[in-house]
Chains A and B, each alone.
Chain A
Amino acid sequence: MSIVRASHLVKTHGVGRAARRVLDGVDLELQAGEVVAIVGRSGSGKSTLLHLLGALDRPDSGSIELGGMRIDTATERELTRVRRSQIGFVFQFFHLLPELTGMENVLLPARLGGDPEALARGKELVAELGLTEVAGRLPTVLSGGEQQRLAVARALVNDPVLLLADEPTGNLDLESGTEVLTLLRRAAAAGKAVLLVTHQDDAIEIADRVLRLSGGRLVE
Chain B
Amino acid sequence: MTAALRYALARLRVRRTRAVLAVLGITAAGAMLGAAVTVSYALGTGFERTADRADLPDIAATFAPTQRADVERVARSLPNVVDVSFRLDRAVIFIAAGGKTTERATAVGIQEGDRRGYAIVEGRDITREGEAVIEAGLARAWNLHPGDDMFARALNVPFGGQRLRIVGVAVSPDSVAYPLASSPIFYVDYRDVAPLIAAVPGTVDTALIWLANPDRVDVTLSQARAAGVGVDRLRFGTRVSLRLLIGQAAGLVIALLVAFSVISLVVAGTMLAAASAAEVERRVQGIGVMRALGMSTGQVTTAAAVEGALIAAPAGALGIALGWFLVAGPTDRLLASLNQLGPGLALAPLLIGSFVALVVIVAGFSALPAWRAARRPAVETMGGGDVVGVARTLPLPAGPAGLGVRLVAARPVRTLGAVIVLGLAAALILLILSIASVLRSLDQRPQALGTRYQLTLPFVAPGLDEAARATKGVEAAATRFEVLAADSFRLGEPFRIISFAADHTQYEDPVLDRGRHLRNDNEAEVGLGLATALGLQIGGTLAAQLPSGAEIRFKVVGIVRAFQDQGRIAYVNPKRLLAADPSSSSTVAVRVAPGSTVDDVREALRERGIVSLDSGGIAGQSVQGFAARSSGFLDVVIALLRSIAIVSGAVCLYAVAQVLALTAHERRRSLAVVRSFGASRVQIVLIFAGAAATIGALALPLGIVVERFALGPMVASLAASYISLPLTAGPIEIAATAASLALGATVVALLLGRAATSRPVVVDLTEE
Contact = CB atoms under 8 A, between A and B. Distances in A.
Interface of A: 47, 51, 54, 56-58, 76-77, 80-85, 89, 91, 95, 97-101, 104, 107-109, 111-113, 136-140, 154, 158
20 contacts: A51-B761, A51-B762, A76-B681, A76-B757, A80-B675, A83-B678, A95-B670, A99-B410, A100-B403, A104-B398, A108-B398, A108-B674, A109-B677, A111-B398, A112-B400, A112-B677, A112-B678, A136-B393, A138-B392, A158-B677
B673 interface: yes
Given A95-B670, A100-B403, A140-B391, A77 B680 contact: yes
A89 B676 contact: yes
Interface of B is mostly: helix
A101 B395 CA distance: 11
A139 B403 CA distance: 15
Contact of B677 (A58, A84, A136): A84
Nearest to A137: B393
Given A56-B762, A83-B675, 19 more contacts: A56-B760, A80-B675, A80-B678, A80-B680, A82-B678, A89-B677, A98-B389, A98-B410, A98-B670, A99-B394, A104-B398, A109-B677, A111-B399, A111-B400, A112-B400, A112-B674, A113-B678, A138-B392, A139-B391
Contacts of B680: 77, 80, 112
Contact of A83 (B407, B410, B676): B676
A57 B398 CA distance: 27
B674 A56 contact: no
A109 B762 contact: no
B765 interface: yes
Nearest to A114: B399
A22 to B, nearest CB: 12
Contacts of A140: 391
A138 B757 CA distance: 27
B389 A99 contact: yes
B9 interface: no
B407 A54 contact: no
B390 to A, nearest CB: 9
- Considering the complex of A and B, which 10 residue pairs feature the smallest CB-CB distances, nearest first? A84-B678, A99-B406, A104-B398, A109-B677, A57-B762, A83-B678, A56-B761, A98-B391, A56-B762, A51-B762
A99 B673 contact: no
Contacts of A101: 393, 398
Nearest to A57: B762
Nearest to A113: B678
Contacts of B392: 99, 138
A83 B673 contact: no
B2 interface: no
Given A104-B398, A107-B398, A111-B399, A99 B407 contact: yes
Interface in B740-768: 757, 760-762, 765-766
B683 interface: yes
B381 to A, nearest CB: 21
Contacts of B165: none
Most buried by B among A80, A97, A98, A99: A99
B765 A56 contact: yes
Contact of A138 (B391, B407, B766): B391
Nearest to A136: B393
A16 B569 CA distance: 83
Given A57-B761, A111-B398, A97 B679 contact: no
A47 B761 CA distance: 13
B678 A47 contact: no
A154 B677 contact: yes
Contacts of A108: 398, 403, 674, 677
A98 B390 CA distance: 9
A58 B398 contact: no
Nearest to A84: B678
A83 B407 CA distance: 23
Most buried by A among B393, B673, B766: B673
Interface in B400-424: 400, 403, 406-407, 409-410
Contacts of A51: 761-762, 765-766
Contacts of A98: 389, 391, 410, 670
A57 B677 CA distance: 14
Given A89-B676, A89-B677, A99 B403 contact: yes
Nearest to A95: B673
A99 B678 contact: no
Interface string B259-286: 0000000000000000000000000000
Nearest to A99: B406
A137 B674 CA distance: 19
B669 interface: yes
A102 to B, nearest CB: 11
B654 to A, nearest CB: 25
Contacts of A137: 393
A136 B765 CA distance: 26
B673 A97 contact: yes
Contacts of B409: 99
Contact of B760 (A57, A82, A100, A113): A57
Given A54-B676, A57-B762, A91-B673, A112 B683 contact: yes
A105 B529 CA distance: 66
A100 B402 CA distance: 10
A137 B391 CA distance: 11
Contacts of A109: 677-678
Contacts of B677: 83-84, 89, 108-109, 112, 154, 158
Contacts of B683: 112
A83 B675 CA distance: 8
Most buried by A among B394, B399, B676: B676
Contacts of A54: 676
Contacts of A83: 675-678, 761
Nearest to B394: A99
Nearest to B669: A95
A157 to B, nearest CB: 9
Contacts of A58: 760
Contacts of B670: 95, 97-98
A212 to B, nearest CB: 22
A138 B394 CA distance: 10
B715 to A, nearest CB: 40
Nearest to A88: B677
Interface string B467-495: 00000000000000000000000000000
Nearest to B766: A47
B147 to A, nearest CB: 67
A140 B392 CA distance: 10
Nearest to A154: B677
Most buried by A among B403, B678, B760, B766: B678
Contacts of B673: 91, 95, 97
Contacts of A77: 680
Given A91-B673, A97-B673, A85 B678 contact: yes
Given A97-B403, A99-B407, A112-B400, A56 B676 contact: yes
Contact of B679 (A56, A82, A112): A112
Contacts of B399: 111
Nearest to B397: A111
A89 B762 CA distance: 12
Most buried by B among A57, A89, A98: A98
Contacts of B674: 97, 108, 112
A136 B398 CA distance: 12
Contacts of A97: 403, 670, 673-674
Contacts of B765: 51, 56
Most buried by B among A76, A136, A139, A154: A76
Contacts of A81: 678
Contacts of B403: 97, 99-100, 108
Contacts of B410: 98-99
A113 B400 CA distance: 11
A109 B736 CA distance: 37
B671 to A, nearest CB: 9
A73 to B, nearest CB: 15
